Amino acid sequence: MGAPVAVVLTSLILLLGAGVWVGFSLMGVGLISLTVFRDMPAATFLAFDLWNSLNTPELVALPLFVLMGEILFHTRLSESLFRGLTPWLGGVPGRLLHVNVVGCTLFAAVSGSSAATTATIGRMTLAELKARGYDENLAMGSLCGAGTLGFLIPPSIILILYGVLSETSIIDLFVAGIVPGALLAVAYMVYIAARTMLKPGLVPDDQVVSSWPDRLRAIADLGPIFGLIIVIIGSMYAGIASPSEAATVGVAGALVLAGIQRALSRETLSLALFGAIKTCSMIGLIVGGALFLSKAMAFLGLPQAVAGAIGGLDLSPFALILLLTLFYIVLGCVIDGLSAIVMTLALVLPLVSGAGFDQVWFGIFLVIVVEMSQITPPVGFNLFVVQGLTGAPISRIAAASLPFFLIMVAMVIVIVLVPDLVTFLPRSMG
């Protein structure tokens, strides 16, 4: 098996290094491997496989959730969130810095995208926090860290893809992401509170504690997003709607919300549609290439060979998870998280299943590890988003994000030691 492995790795490195798109690189590696080592019409096989792989009911929810997020991106939802959260967070240590975390947590529940969550909340909060005198580094770091929650909190686009690729229940994955996502958000807020209490100069002196009538009035600004979350997530958990049906309801709700805010015009709708088309085309190309490559590797027997080689190392389950954590952190430094998952899942999943790990648990573990890649240079998408909003150097933004990266590392350790934090809810609802 040494020759096929060498051809696959060499071809992939050369194609990616030459700047070929990830999806085309994966297809190219599959074509080269089958042409060299198997006497079969690889191009015909690719054509049939792309159609069959991408024409599945499970993937219908993905473009709908993407479209919903794009519509909400062009509304004034972030402004409403800032107004609604300010009276509630003004008296908490760290004050309005928590708007980044809570705002990203709420928007993640109706977006499913890490980059969209970071960009939407950051457009409103970063300039406002800087104008009010909050520490810019802590504001940028908290936004980068909290923006990754778009991957974990349902409806997560990356969890949908993992569910399709691993043949795992998408609803179980969505349910499993709730507790870890909430714990991460709370951990971020605890860190911000502790940091600002130890160094009060990070926040301005003009503390304003809002009255209860102000807080109650602010609920009106939070009502739309809470309503959308309840409709989307609640309908799936109650068994009323499938993920695809809930996504359809979410798109309709986003359109209604945009209409109420008078943000629904031909221009914004066109921007949302084209944005969704570009995102879904990118994801579809990567997923199609990854699925084809996984089938090509199966024809060559590579998954079994790699599993056998790692099995020969006689690693304990925890040593295997440690190895995979380090592997994905390093991989995330040079390739985006989505690509990392779809490229490696065919090889990795048999290993973790053989070690006795639950596939739902591993999906959440994998998403948290991949979240780290969103804030690790040089290919951290959230770093680029925040750089586009602030103009700050990537190195400065990455340094500001480091504490939140370490919090995610701690979260991985927690769910490895206490896996029931992930599996309890899906098991109880099943």
Reference 159, options 207, 118, 108, 200; nearest CA is 108
**pLDDT score, position 317:** 84
* Average pLDDT of the residues of the chain: 82
* Cβ within 8 Å of residue 193, ≥6 positions away: 92, 93, 94, 98
pLDDT at 207 over 70: no
Tell me the helix, strand and coil percentages in the chain, rounded to 5.
80, 0, 20
In three-state secondary structure terms, 319 is helix
**Residue 232 CA to chain centroid, in angstroms?**
18
Q: Confidence band (pLDDT; 50, 70, 90) for 111?
A: confident
**Mean pLDDT, rounded, for 95-123:** 82
In three-state secondary structure terms, 284 is helix
pLDDT at 377 over 80: no
**Mean pLDDT, rounded, for 101-124:** 80
Q: Confidence band (pLDDT; 50, 70, 90) for 307?
A: low
pLDDT at 333 over 90: no
Paired tokens of 291: 């699925």
What is this structure's pTM?
Answer: 0.80
Reference 75, options 216, 280, 249, 224; nearest CA is 224
